[in-house]
Chains A and B, each alone.
Chain A
Amino acid sequence: MSELINKVSQFFSSGIIDLFIGYKKGRLGEGKPAFFTKPEQLNELIFDENCIVNLAVYLRKPELKKYSKIGVLANFGTLRALLQLAAENQIADGQYLILTVADGKVLEFANLKAIEEYVANNLPKPNPERIAFLKEIESKSREERWEFWTRELASCIRCYACRAACPLCYCEQCLVECNQPQWVGVPPTGMGNLEWHIVRAMHLAGRCIGCGECEAACPMEIPIGFLTQKLNMAIISNFGQVPGTKLEPDYALSTFKVDDKENFIR
């Protein structure tokens, strides 16, 4: 940890950064998001596998505009979110100083291309427990799946914590807030909840980097991460596109190609 603290401390003293977003010890010993503006605060800085919050979610906060350069301590999910945000023209190369810690060593990424290479070489295998759960849902009949999801989503209170926690949900105005016309029912009733979660999942299909923050933030313990995960698996197997791994836009659901094999699109 001292290497990390020394390094970040140097970035501060040489004027390279004036804000560093990292983690400090949380209530159960895991990492919680922390914002450092002075090197003397850095003794609280930690980083380990229990630092799971995706810090990319903070980069859209207007409060951060006053800082001239921000450093981010990125876990793997944060790195993938940064790549996806870059592919969607939401962040620029060199805009942030990005660090991670791998095998006990601090890595400073020279540019987004370096993150792309790092992510390509370290892409983890899907969590077998989650795959098993998805398989279990898939094995159910259509009626059983409908029953499962309507029951789960009935408890949704429409707080939109899933949206707030998602690093890729950055729209200034969310579709659910549009009331002329009102596309999605706002009251947390059965149909409105279903519509909201379908909309959310479809907007993240092929963009979701699978960090799990939506599910972690859900105060009602709804397994919403499986919706985007399932759609992503379909996109990966049909189009070979893995979100949050490439700097070039590569997005199955909004790409138009004149030589598309489907006739309806021409």
Chain B
Amino acid sequence: MEYKLIKLEKIQDFINALIASGKQVLAPKQKKEKVFFSLVGSFDEIAMDYIQTAFSAKSAVFPKCEELYTFEKNGKDTILHNPPAPENDTIVFGMRPCDGAAFDYLTTFFLKENPDYHFKMRYDKTIFVGLTCSSGDEFCFCTSVGISPSDTRGSDLMLTKTENGYYMEIITEKGKKLVEQFSNFFEQTEQIDKTKYTANIQKRFDSSALKEKISGAFNWERWEETSLPCFGCGTCAFSCPTCTCFDIQDEANLVGGARYRIWDTCALGIFTKHASGHNPREKQSERWRNRILHKFLYTDEQFGTLSCVGCGRCIRNCPAELSIIEQVNAIMEG
């Protein structure tokens, strides 16, 4: 692996040069009280001092709404058009290691068996620049699910802030190409030990012990009691870096229209409602159970990986303050 250093005063020039070159830079930006990944027009707009963005970086490749294709009527025929591929690269800047690790799961889900055209189209044009966490909060629990706050998984380039500047690990070919293109911003450096610059994230539960316990948890009698404060807003799933469920919707008029893929969530009653009116997940507690088991059991069975990366967004964003950490620990207690 190659290592570089960006001096603190150079990071601004680097980002601005990326933008000037026509690349789209998706970076953490303060809105009101929360920080969101947003397209930025200059380095000044970027929030560099934040624990976690309110929503994950998945939207760079799996946006809240995307055109699958457009259609138009032509006499008796219907003509379909694929959406155009993005022309320019998107740089996701300042992605946390948990979000990076989420791409392990997302790429398994979207690309492994039947590669998803739309996901791939964006993923191929996106460069992920990760940023080591120098601090965390009580809702961070990446270490409980096998991820470290300086994990390089899913990142093409990985930055770690040191007293000399941003230490950069060049992880992938994609990352290397970008560095070569903007080589005047970087200096050569040796490998360093990142521990000193990495947050100490406490382990909140033991995922291997959970694995044993959760396989029989479907009929656990406390699902209802532990999920009573949930009123089904779905924010946990929408802000989750690994939630992939989507709905497909058309918008059309008499001459044509578009088919969209939009985010969906198992927290909503309509998610499983049958045309007959029957709903196999009638109550919120059953939807809550599905979410927890999906994260810690179902994807493990299906893909051999947990689909929770410990980013803590579902806890921070929950208006009823439900906590996936408390939930998991309650399951462990039995």
Contacts and interface: CB of A to CB of B under 8 A. Distances in A.
Interface of A: 26-27, 32-35, 37, 53, 57-58, 61-63, 157-161, 164-165, 177, 185-189, 192, 213, 216-217, 219-221
Contacts of B224: 63
Contacts of B231: 57-58, 61, 164-165
Indicate the member of A35, A57, A61, A217 with the most B CB atoms within 10 Å. Answer: A61
B228 A35 contact: yes
Contact of B32 (A61, A186, A216, A221): A221
10 contacts: A32-B321, A33-B229, A61-B283, A62-B283, A63-B285, A160-B268, A187-B262, A192-B251, A217-B235, A219-B235
A186 B268 CA distance: 14
A61 B251 contact: no
Given A63-B285, A158-B263, A165-B233, 20 more contacts: A27-B138, A35-B225, A57-B231, A58-B231, A63-B283, A157-B238, A157-B263, A161-B233, A161-B234, A164-B232, A164-B234, A186-B262, A187-B251, A189-B65, A192-B251, A219-B54, A219-B55, A219-B233, A219-B239, A221-B32
Contacts of A37: 225
Contacts of A187: 65, 249, 251, 260, 262
Closest 6 CB pairs of A and B: A161-B233, A32-B321, A187-B260, A164-B233, A35-B228, A217-B319
Contacts of B251: 185, 187, 189, 192
Indicate the member of A32, A161, A187, A221 with the most B CB atoms within 10 Å. Answer: A187
Interface string B261-280: 01101001010000000000
Indicate the member of B55, B228, B231 with the most A CB atoms within 10 Å. Answer: B231
A57 B284 CA distance: 13
A111 to B, nearest CB: 26
Given A159-B265, A187-B65, A32 B234 contact: no
Indicate the member of A57, A58, A63 with the most B CB atoms within 10 Å. Answer: A63
B233 A177 contact: no
Interface in B63-114: 64-65
B196 interface: no
B229 A188 contact: no
Contacts of A219: 54-55, 233, 235, 238-239, 317
Contacts, number: 93
Nearest to B54: A219
B268 to A, nearest CB: 7
B48 interface: no
Given A157-B238, A164-B234, A221 B31 contact: yes
B245 interface: no
B242 to A, nearest CB: 17
A123 B225 CA distance: 35
B235 A186 contact: no
B323 to A, nearest CB: 9
Interface of B: 31-34, 36, 54-55, 64-65, 138, 224-225, 228-229, 231-235, 238-239, 247, 249, 251, 260, 262-263, 265, 268, 270, 282-285, 317, 319-321
A58 B249 CA distance: 30
Contacts of B239: 219
Contacts of A189: 65, 251, 260
Indicate the member of B36, B249, B263 with the most A CB atoms within 10 Å. Answer: B249
B233 A160 contact: yes
B64 A157 contact: yes
Nearest to A162: B233
B233 A63 contact: no
A248 B291 CA distance: 41
A33 B55 CA distance: 24
B244 to A, nearest CB: 15
B60 to A, nearest CB: 15
B268 A61 contact: no
Nearest to A187: B260
Nearest to A174: B270
Contacts of A160: 233-234, 268
A53 B229 CA distance: 11
Contacts of A217: 233, 235, 319
B229 A32 contact: yes
A151 to B, nearest CB: 12
B174 to A, nearest CB: 29
Contacts of A63: 224, 228, 283-285
Contacts of B263: 157-159, 188
B264 to A, nearest CB: 10
Indicate the member of A157, A185, A192 with the most B CB atoms within 10 Å. Answer: A157
A1 to B, nearest CB: 20
Nearest to A173: B270
Nearest to A157: B64
Contacts of A165: 231, 233, 319
